[in-house]
Amino acid sequence: AWKMDEFQYAQDIPSDLLCAVCYHTLCDPRGCPRCQKAFCSECISTWASTQKRKVLPFSCPYCRARLRLSQLFRPEALCARLGDLQVFCPYGCSGTIRRADLDNHFACLCPRLPVPCPDCGVRVLRGELAGHVASPNCHNRRLACPNQALGCQVQLELQDMQNHTMQCPYEPLECRHCHATVLRGQAEDHCWMACPGLCPCPNRCYGCAYVAPSLEHLADHVVRHCQYAESSTYMARMRGALGTGDLVYGCGSRLRSKASSCGHSHLPAAHPQIPTLDERRLSHETHWSSTAGRLYGMRESSPGVAAAGGMWCHGLFV
């Protein structure tokens, strides 16, 4: 930290702005109520400590009037004049600065002030910081994703950026079926719902992975060849039975509504061959994402292996 007496002033200092103890430009002045002479706050505190050590009463170092330290006052008019004094920046930047603006100049403006790089911690001049961050000299510099214009807001270090771009959901890819450009994060939706070159089987949620090249081929597949057509019919009946409570377990035990009519007070909490609703939903979602993974057909994709999955149907995991 710089002291006020260490600055080089661009003008001559009037005598009433000099401390009566150290004879330097006043810093945080305190005035005597008797003689109106001003002193630096640090100088008058040192004078008071010296007087106390000598077992002497505190007095003004200029007029020798006996006072209490609390009687000294802050001369606001002198403070305003001191703030208007022009000083040269100690770091050598051009021009002069008002003394009252020095703190703001050092904190935000001075291009010659050494500051630490926010990425690598190396101290560089503030005026050279932007160039340092963008240069190879800053080994930990953070870069914006190349797909920032498409919506990606990720900023990573240089060594991590390549891995990110291989997985970035905003990376534009070309569909090999319809040659449309889609974002990686929208590839699955495009393949299942929007790609005119792909017609997935409507029974895909039951495990069918067939994708027809046209609607005509798809209709023929569903009517004649789809082995999951019976599953879709069975699931439709199950949904209807769930609405009426007339659902039968695979082992022959009926639902609570049917069991109560036969005199049974309760059913087992779980059956070893019948999965819970959460297990069915999880296996259904896993199987769907596994099937979808084989349909991306994108020329660029992140490496990975689709997880195996399936769903429960007729008491079997398919």
Beta strands 312-313 and 316-317 are: antiparallel
312's enclosing H/E stretch is strand 312-313
**Contact 83/100 with Cβ under 8 angstroms?**
yes
CATH label of the domain that carries residue 80: 3.30.40.10
φ/ψ of residue 125, rounded to 5: -65, 140
In a domain, 19, yes or no: yes
Does residue 133 sit within a domain? no
Write down the pTM of the prediction.
0.44
Residue 143 Cα distances to 1, 117, 140, angstroms: 34, 14, 10
Asked if residue 202 and residue 304 are part of one domain, the reply reads yes
* 199 occurs within a structural domain: yes
| 255 bridge partner residues | none
Is residue 209 situated within a structural domain?
Answer: yes
Domain final residue pick, 83, 106, 129: 106
The pLDDT value given to residue 244: 55
Q: Are residues 191 and 85 in the same domain?
A: no
Same domain membership, residue 310 and residue 185? yes
Q: Which of 106, 134, 164 represents a domain boundary (last residue)?
A: 106
* 166 assigned to some structural domain: no
Is residue 136 in a domain? no
Per-residue confidence (pLDDT) for residue 216, from 0 to 100: 74
Q: What is the structure's pLDDT at 309?
A: 39
Q: Which two tokens stand for residue 86?
A: 């022009």
Domain check: are 312 and 190 in the same one?
A: yes
Q: 24 burial class (0-12, 13-18, 19+ CB within 10 angstroms)? A: middle
Which residue range forms the structural domain that includes residue 178? 173-317
In a domain, 112, yes or no: no
Q: Looking at the 3D structure of the chain, how many domains does it have? A: 2
pLDDT per residue, tens digit, the chain (318 aa), is 566 667 889 989 999 999 999 999 999 999 999 999 999 999 999 999 999 999 999 999 999 999 998 999 999 999 999 999 999 998 888 779 999 999 899 888 899 999 998 878 889 999 988 888 777 778 777 788 999 999 999 988 777 888 998 999 999 998 887 888 999 998 888 877 777 777 778 887 878 888 887 767 788 888 888 888 777 676 676 667 666 554 444 433 333 343 344 443 333 333 333 333 344 344 444 444 443 333 333 434 333 333 333 443 333 333
Q: Are residues 213 and 99 in the same domain?
A: no
Residues 82 and 216 in one domain: no
Domain end (from 106, 134, 159): 106
Q: Are residues 177 and 93 in the same domain?
A: no
Same domain? For 178 and 76 the reply is no
How many alpha carbons fall within 13 Å on the CB side of residue 279?
A: 10
pLDDT at residue 197, rounded to an integer: 72
**38: in domain:** yes
Q: Give Cα 310 to chain centroid, integer Å.
A: 36
Verify that 177 and 313 share a domain, yes or no. yes
Same domain, 68 and 189: no
